[in-house]
Amino acid sequence: MEYVYPAIFHPNDDGSITITYPDLPGCISEGKSLANAMYMAQSALKQWIEYLADKKMVLPAASAVQDVSAKGNEFTSLIRAEVKDGRAVKRTISIPQWMDEKAVSSGLSLSRVMQDALAERFA
């Protein structure tokens, strides 16, 4: 699922940039440069959304970017984060019997093998 939230970028005297999310109190990050701050903003947003989902907390609605006001030398930018649903789902697959016997005798988890193969395919 994709999420987009406005973030406020606060330039600091040492050249670093602090990032806050008006809609997500406590979601704060910092970057050493603008490029790093953009990366850190996305990472912080993703982790915050995953945290709220894990704790079964309500994710606040995102404000419209024009409704978020920056002060002084601050600026506002929209940040996008993609959060993948990591919940397990059951699927039925068919494999030849000899493969199943080899997997069992080798102690392989077919679920893990399938997850690893799909992760490599989709990387």
pLDDT at 37 over 80: yes
| Whole-structure pTM value | 0.72
pLDDT at 119 over 80: yes
Following DSSP, what letter does each residue of 19-70 receive, concatenated? EE-TTSTT-EEEESSHHHHHHHHHHHHHHHHHHHHHTTPPPPPPPPGGG---
Give me the percent of the chain exceeding a pLDDT of 70. 100
pLDDT at 76 over 90: yes
Q: Name the pairing type of β-strands 2-11 and 17-20.
A: antiparallel
- Return the half-sphere exposure (C-beta side, CA atoms, 13 A cut-off) of residue 119: 8
Phi first, then psi: give them for residue 83, nearest 5 degrees: -115, 120
